[in-house]
């Protein structure tokens, strides 16, 4: 607070007397700050404005001009004193404005749980109440929406509503954090209650000592020094129970007044206090006038409340010739800040109205999507994505006026539920088609298994190829059956074609000769010493690979020799200091040559499917890692965990490039 923070402690003061040397209180009491409690919330902040405006709006002169307002003025003072008592009971609440208020409404369930854990770990438990209340309200609303969707899906899939159960790890994590918060709150208030009682006893003891000052027969300077020590002790004693606050404060000020009456005998000490208080109050006024020019309305108002608290509770009276002037000047700055704050809240209302327009448009967008007719799986997938985008936009649109909040939320839920009902109806029909397809494929499996041992190759081979073609043309089946029936069908077809290949291999003397030659070449490669030059070494290996290819195919039951050759070549390539991806591609090309030995390309088909599957898996892992990065908000890029994620993404992308190169090589062979 600029120079205000540098002020030395000043003595406390209290209500004024009619005596010339008495201490001013009425004017001071009229500037007591409104409660800081829950100032983050709109409702309490507006109430604070009303209290402060009412408190500073009526001076003693105004009371004389409008005597009918005295009762109203007393009511305001009572409210302010109750507010001060509430604040004084828990001084930890002073820190709550230092905690940044985030856009909790736009956060995901997981982000809300993480944010609660951070607040609990890094902040005082008494300072985070409004934040936790907001997080808790948003979490409950969003989780209930998720629960409603899961329940509706469960019922639409044929489940009984009474049997529905849904458990979420995020919900469990959040509940644990919230339970820890409640425990800390209880511990805090148990400790606070004990301290409040002790502080009350200490302050009552100070009051008793103040009473005794008037009866001491000692030098006035010694007595005044003792008085100042008691004031310091009073200020340094912590908070007391709120129901005792006003009585203790009034009693303390009553005896301070009596001491100042007593001090009338020594004008020098009294005038020195008046001068000191005037200097400090002028500094407070100057700071208030600076705040009146500040564009940050909420920050200015919060600091203004502290200035009023200092004016009332920390500084004593000034000379009568200055009292009205400085009070009017302070009141004028206060009114300027308060007027700006009222305008700020009018703007907030406009923002909420704008948010309402956005949310109503989102609901209209969802209704428009619901009106679209979709008859294919791909069309419904697009609609599902569009609805999810609208749903996220709704949650990110911000607050709406409280009076329409519940109604807007109800409309949104009903629109989303309508979509879910339509989606579930479509996929129920799709499941019926899938079960029909399942039966068709089971029939194809029976044909394959009935003919897999047939020796009439001329008739059976076209039949087996036809059912393979029919299998591809038949649509999707239920996911739970897909892998099982495919393996069964594939096994029957492979069994048949393996028998054909085995018969051909047995009758091929050429393939037997090729096997013998390849066996001899393997013996040569086992003792091969490569040149020290990398390029010459690579050329030597490629020459042997080329030679191997020229030897031709081997019998089907001797194909294991290709694996032996591949293993030896892999070992030789490893000994060369080459780029690992280049080595991998040379190995892979050699592997493909060994696979490309069938007339029906079955081995290549299997390899092609395997590589495609690996590419999908790596893409999925990259997407997951990149999504994980989004949870690292406000985290430095040098953070070890963030670095590790980036390194994983880089490694997966390198692997993806290698897989794509392999896929290209396979396509070249078709």
Total domains present in the chain: 3
Q: Which long-range contacts (CB under 8 A, 24 or more apart) does 516-519 make?
A: 517/551, 518/548, 518/551, 518/554, 518/561, 518/565, 519/561
Question: Domain span at residue 536?
Answer: 508-595
Q: Is the pLDDT of residue 112 over 60?
A: yes
Per residue in 462-481, pLDDT tens?
Answer: 999 999 999 998 888 887 88
What pLDDT sits at residue 363? Answer: 93
| 560 and 668 fall within a common domain | no
Q: Is the pLDDT of residue 359 over 90?
A: yes
590: in domain:
yes
Residue whose C-alpha is closest to residue 252's, from 216, 330, 199, 319 = 199
| 617 and 536 fall within a common domain | no
Tokens linked to 267: 């004008």
Per residue in 291-324, pLDDT tens?
Answer: 999 888 888 888 888 888 788 777 877 887 898 8
| 148 and 46 fall within a common domain | yes
User: Which of 306, 322, 337 delimits the end of a domain?
Assistant: 337
| 589 and 662 fall within a common domain | no
Which residues are CB-contacts of 238 (< 8 A; sequence separation ≥ 6)? 91, 195, 196, 199
Give the CA angle between residues 653, 655, 658 to the nearest 5°: 110
454: in domain:
no
460: in domain:
no
414: in domain:
no
What pLDDT band is residue 11 in, cutting at 50, 70 and 90?
A: very low
Q: Contact 662/588 with Cβ under 8 angstroms?
A: yes
| 309 and 190 fall within a common domain | yes
446: in domain:
no
Q: Contact 30/56 with Cβ under 8 angstroms?
A: yes
Per residue in 168-210, pLDDT tens?
Answer: 899 999 999 999 999 988 888 888 888 888 888 888 999 888 8
Per residue in 218-246, pLDDT tens?
Answer: 777 788 888 888 888 888 888 888 788 77
In the numeric block, the tokens 């592997």 are attached to 591
Q: Which of 108-122, 143-157, 364-378 has the lowest mean pLDDT?
A: 143-157
Q: If you average pLDDT over residues 645-665, what whole number do you get?
A: 86
What pLDDT band is residue 81 in, cutting at 50, 70 and 90?
A: very low
| 572 and 651 fall within a common domain | no
| 9 and 54 fall within a common domain | yes
Q: If you average pLDDT over residues 47-63, what whole number do you get?
A: 33
Q: Contact 285/334 with Cβ under 8 angstroms?
A: no
What pLDDT band is residue 7 in, cutting at 50, 70 and 90?
A: very low
| 514 and 632 fall within a common domain | no
Residue that wins the pLDDT comparison between 197 and 157? 197
What pLDDT band is residue 152 in, cutting at 50, 70 and 90?
A: confident
What pLDDT sits at residue 14? Answer: 31
Q: Contact 185/230 with Cβ under 8 angstroms?
A: no
Per residue in 365-404, pLDDT tens?
Answer: 999 999 998 888 888 889 999 998 998 899 888 888 888 8
What pLDDT band is residue 505 in, cutting at 50, 70 and 90?
A: low
Winning range, highest mean pLDDT, from 130-139, 420-429, 553-562: 130-139
Q: If you average pLDDT over residues 88-109, what whole number do you get?
A: 66
What pLDDT sits at residue 44? Answer: 35
Residue whose C-alpha is closest to residue 192's, from 120, 82, 92, 83 = 92
What pLDDT band is residue 599 in, cutting at 50, 70 and 90?
A: low
Averaged pLDDT score across all residues of the chain:
77
Which residues are CB-contacts of 108 (< 8 A; sequence separation ≥ 6)? 142
Residue whose C-alpha is closest to residue 69's, from 19, 31, 30 = 30
* Integer Cα distance of 379 and 362 in angstroms: 20
| 21 and 91 fall within a common domain | yes
Q: If you average pLDDT over residues 22-50, what whole number do you get?
A: 30
Q: Is the pLDDT of residue 80 over 70?
A: no
User: Which of 305, 337, 369 delimits the end of a domain?
Assistant: 337
Q: If you average pLDDT over residues 273-291, what whole number do you get?
A: 91
Winning range, highest mean pLDDT, from 67-76, 146-155, 545-554: 545-554
Residue whose C-alpha is closest to residue 271's, from 314, 320, 308 = 320
Winning range, highest mean pLDDT, from 77-86, 386-395, 423-432: 386-395
Residue whose C-alpha is closest to residue 147's, from 338, 417, 369, 382 = 417
Q: Which of 102-111, 259-268, 294-303, 437-446 has the lowest mean pLDDT?
A: 259-268
518: in domain:
yes
What pLDDT sits at residue 552? Answer: 82
| 646 and 547 fall within a common domain | no
User: Which of 293, 315, 337 delimits the end of a domain?
Assistant: 337
21: in domain:
yes
Q: Is the pLDDT of residue 31 over 70?
A: no
Answer positive or negative: Cα dihedral of 95, 96, 97, 102. Answer: positive
Residue that wins the pLDDT comparison between 62 and 439? 439
What pLDDT sits at residue 647? Answer: 87
Q: If you average pLDDT over residues 153-175, what whole number do you get?
A: 81
| Percent of the chain at pLDDT exceeding 90 | 15
Q: Contact 391/373 with Cβ under 8 angstroms?
A: no
Q: If you average pLDDT over residues 425-438, what whole number do you get?
A: 80
Residue that wins the pLDDT comparison between 174 and 429? 174
What pLDDT sits at residue 466? Answer: 92
Give the CA angle between residues 419, 421, 425 to the nearest 5°: 120
Q: Which long-range contacts (CB under 8 A, 24 or more apart) does 359-364 make?
A: 359/394, 359/397, 359/400, 359/408, 359/412, 360/408, 360/411, 362/390, 362/393, 362/394, 362/397, 362/412, 363/394, 363/408, 363/411, 363/412, 363/415
430: in domain:
no
Q: Is the pLDDT of residue 104 over 90?
A: no
| 138 and 253 fall within a common domain | yes
What pLDDT sits at residue 91? Answer: 52
What pLDDT band is residue 325 in, cutting at 50, 70 and 90?
A: very high
| 628 and 651 fall within a common domain | yes
């Amino acid at each position: 607070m600029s120079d205000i923070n540098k002020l030395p402690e000043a003595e406390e003061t209290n209500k004024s007397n009619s005596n010339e040397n008495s201490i001013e209180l009425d004017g001071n009491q009229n500037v007591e700050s409104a409660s800081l409690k829950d100032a983050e919330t709109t409702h309490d902040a507006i109430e604070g404005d009303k209290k402060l405006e009412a408190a500073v709006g009526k001076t003693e002169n105004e009371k004389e001009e409008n005597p009918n307002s005295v009762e109203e003025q007393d009511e305001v003072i009572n409210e302010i004193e109750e507010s001060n008592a509430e604040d004084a009971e828990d001084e930890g609440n002073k820190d709550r404005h230092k905690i940044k208020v985030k856009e909790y409404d736009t956060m995901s369930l997981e982000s809300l749980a993480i944010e609660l854990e951070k607040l609990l770990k890094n902040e005082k438990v008494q300072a985070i109440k409004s934040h936790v209340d907001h997080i808790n309200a948003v979490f409950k609303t969003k989780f209930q929406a998720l629960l409603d969707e899961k329940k509706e899906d469960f019922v639409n899939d044929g489940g009984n509503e009474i049997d529905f159960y849904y458990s979420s790890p995020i919900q469990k994590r959040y509940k644990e954090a919230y339970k820890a918060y409640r425990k800390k709150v209880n511990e805090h208030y148990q400790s606070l209650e004990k301290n409040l009682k002790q502080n009350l006893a200490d302050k009552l003891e100070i009051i008793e000592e103040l009473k005794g000052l008037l009866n001491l027969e000692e030098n006035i300077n010694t007595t005044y020094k003792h008085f100042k020590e008691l004031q310091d002790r009073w200020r340094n004693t912590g908070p007391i129970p709120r129901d005792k606050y006003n009585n203790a404060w009034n009693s303390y000020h009553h005896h301070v007044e009596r001491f100042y009456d007593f001090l009338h005998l020594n004008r020098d000490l009294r005038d020195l206090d008046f001068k000191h208080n005037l200097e400090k109050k002028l500094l407070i006024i100057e700071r208030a006038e600076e705040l009146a020019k500040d564009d940050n309305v909420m920050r200015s108002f919060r600091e203004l409340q502290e200035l009023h608290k200092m004016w009332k509770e920390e500084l004593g009276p000034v000379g009568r010739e200055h009292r009205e002037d400085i009070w009017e000047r302070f009141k004028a700055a206060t009114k300027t800040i308060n007027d700006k704050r009222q305008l700020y809240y009018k703007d907030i209302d406009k923002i909420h109205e704008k948010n309402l327009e956005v949310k109503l448009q989102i609901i209209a967008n969802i209704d428009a999507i619901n009106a679209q007719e979709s008859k294919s799986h791909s069309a419904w997938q697009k609609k599902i994505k569009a609805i999810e985008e609208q749903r996220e936009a709704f949650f990110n649109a911000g607050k709406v006026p409280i009076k329409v909040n519940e109604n807007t939320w109800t409309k949104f839920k009903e629109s989303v539920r309508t979509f879910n009902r339509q989606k579930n109806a479509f996929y129920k029909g799709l499941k019926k088609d899938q079960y029909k397809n399942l039966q068709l494929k089971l029939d194809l499996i029976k044909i394959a298994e009935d003919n897999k041992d047939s020796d009439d190759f001329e008739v059976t081979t076209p039949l087996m190829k036809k059912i393979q073609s029919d299998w591809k043309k038949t649509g999707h089946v239920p996911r739970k059956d897909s892998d099982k029936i495919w393996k069964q069908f594939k096994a029957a077809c492979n069994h048949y074609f393996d028998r054909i290949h085995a018969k051909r291999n047995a009758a091929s003397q050429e393939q037997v000769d090729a096997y013998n030659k390849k066996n001899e070449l393997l013996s040569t490669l086992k003792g091969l010493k490569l040149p020290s030059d990398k390029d010459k070494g690579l050329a030597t290996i490629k020459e042997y690979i080329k030679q191997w290819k020229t030897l031709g195919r081997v019998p089907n039951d001797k194909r294991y020799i290709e694996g032996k050759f591949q293993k030896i070549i892999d070992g030789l390539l490893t000994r060369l200091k080459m780029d690992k991806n280049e080595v991998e591609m040379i190995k892979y090309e050699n592997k493909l040559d060994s696979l490309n030995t069938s007339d029906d390309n079955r081995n290549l088909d299997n390899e092609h499917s395997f590589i495609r599957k690996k590419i999908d898996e790596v893409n999925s892992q990259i997407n997951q890692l990149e999504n994980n990065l989004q949870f690292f908000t406000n985290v430095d890029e040098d953070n070890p965990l963030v670095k590790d994620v980036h390194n994983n993404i880089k490694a997966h992308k390198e692997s993806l490039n290698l897989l794509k190169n392999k896929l290209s090589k396979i396509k070249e062979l078709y």
